[in-house]
């Protein structure tokens, strides 16, 4: 009869998996995931509050131009646009849930409600003739967080657990994989953007006038309709030599995104390059990507538990784990 495997032998397969996926199955402090929750949900809450007038104006198109409704995302299941009162109700519930999720109150409910509501509202906004992609990463990060234990620290849920005698959370893989998955989502998004440029424009994206024409068209359209346009972009289109290096740099940043997963200087260098890329888009085309420009999109790449400070320790009622 074969002898039963020893504990060391039984642990060998798990160790092998860890070697094949370095870091992704390692424990992480709960404060890292909790801080990501605060940053992402805080951004989503601010976005919804600031954009409330616009979102309600878009909802009124159901009454004045229902034929323009071309549903995207989860709204493809609809045959007609939702009534404005329904959109307003979803907006109100989502804002309330995001406020609760920000402080970590009843996260098992507030987290999924925030993620689903944000997805529905941003999908509705893109269902009226122009598809926006500035909110995609926010929506995906909210979905990742909603499926995780993101309120086990730095939250009212953690404070309530501490008052009832619950043990403080310690480093565990369940606090690591959501942060790492959020980082992978960022990488995939940038790589897909770069691949889309190559697929539609090929090498002409770098050597031709594709970027120059895009900047010219975007600024001219905005100027004609009275929207904010970029004088810098208007100047640049008169100097064709500017655009091949910019096009090559943008493509390199997007396709090189996987190096951010290596951590260290590779991560920091890529994040700085990606942030500069979005700053360039703002300067040349007056297109604002607030999620990456504020740094929230890149937060999953860093040891966020280092952002802890005494007020959060009082709220959470738990110690801050040492960074990995």
Cα separation, 51 vs 302, in Å, equals 29
pLDDT at 110: 97
Q: What is the DSSP letter of 289?
A: -
Q: Is the pLDDT of residue 252 over 90?
A: yes
Give the tens place of pLDDT for each residue, 94-135: 999 999 999 999 999 999 999 999 999 999 999 998 888 889
Cα separation, 178 vs 174, in Å, equals 7
pLDDT at 119: 97
Average confidence (pLDDT) over 64-89: 94
Q: Residue 165: which pLDDT band, with cuts at 50, 70 and 90?
A: confident
pLDDT at 308: 61
Q: Is the pLDDT of residue 14 over 80?
A: no
What pTM was computed for the model?
0.86
Q: Residue 243: which pLDDT band, with cuts at 50, 70 and 90?
A: confident
Contacts for 248-253: CB closer than 8 Å, 24+ residues apart: 248/206, 249/277, 250/197, 250/211, 250/277, 250/280, 251/194, 251/197, 251/198, 251/205, 251/206, 253/190, 253/194, 253/277
List the alpha helices (DSSP H) in 126-263.
Answer: 136-146, 156-163, 177-201, 204-207, 210-225, 231-236, 243-255
Give the tens place of pLDDT for each residue, 282-316: 988 888 899 999 999 999 999 998 876 544 444 44
Count of alpha carbons within 13 Å of 204, Cβ hemisphere only?
8
Q: Residue 19: which pLDDT band, with cuts at 50, 70 and 90?
A: very low
Lowest mean pLDDT among 125-134, 161-170, 205-214, 290-299: 205-214
- Spatial CA neighbour of 125 closest among 42, 39, 45, 53: 53
Q: Are 190 and 261 in contact (CB under 8 A)?
A: no
Residue 190 neighbours by CB distance under 10 Å: 22
Average confidence (pLDDT) over 212-232: 83
Cα 124 from chain centroid (whole Å): 18
């Amino acid at each position: 009869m074969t002898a039963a495997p020893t504990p060391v032998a039984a642990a060998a397969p798990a160790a092998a998996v860890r070697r094949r996926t370095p870091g992704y199955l390692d424990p992480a402090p709960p404060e890292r995931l909790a801080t990501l929750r605060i940053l992402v949900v805080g951004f989503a809450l601010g976005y919804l509050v600031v954009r409330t007038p616009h979102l309600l104006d878009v909802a009124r198109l159901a009454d004045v131009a229902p034929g323009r409704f071309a549903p995207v995302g989860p709204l493809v299941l609809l045959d007609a646009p939702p009534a404005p009162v329904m959109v307003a109700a979803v907006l109100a519930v989502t804002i309330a849930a995001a406020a609760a999720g920000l402080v970590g109150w009843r996260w098992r409910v507030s987290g999924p409600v925030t993620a689903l509501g944000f997805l529905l509202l941003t999908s509705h906004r893109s269902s009226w003739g122009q598809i926006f992609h500035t909110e995609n990463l926010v929506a995906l990060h909210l979905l990742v967080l909603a499926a995780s234990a993101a309120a086990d620290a730095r939250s009212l849920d953690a404070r309530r657990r501490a008052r009832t005698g619950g043990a403080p959370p310690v480093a565990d893989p369940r606090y690591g994989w959501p942060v790492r998955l959020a980082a992978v989502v960022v990488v995939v998004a940038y790589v897909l953007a770069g691949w889309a440029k190559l697929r539609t424009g090929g090498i002409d994206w770098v050597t031709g006038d594709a970027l120059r024409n895009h900047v010219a068209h975007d600024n001219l359209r905005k100027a004609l309709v009275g929207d904010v346009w970029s004088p810098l972009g208007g100047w640049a289109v008169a100097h064709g030599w500017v655009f091949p290096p910019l096009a090559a740099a943008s493509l390199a940043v997007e396709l090189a995104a996987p190096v951010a997963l290596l951590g260290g200087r590779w991560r920091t260098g890529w994040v700085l390059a990606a942030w500069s890329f979005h700053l360039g888009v703002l300067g040349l085309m007056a297109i604002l990507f607030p999620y990456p420009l504020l740094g929230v999109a890149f937060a999953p790449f860093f040891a966020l538990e280092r952002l802890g400070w005494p007020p959060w320790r009082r709220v959470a009622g738990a110690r801050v784990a040492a960074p990995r």
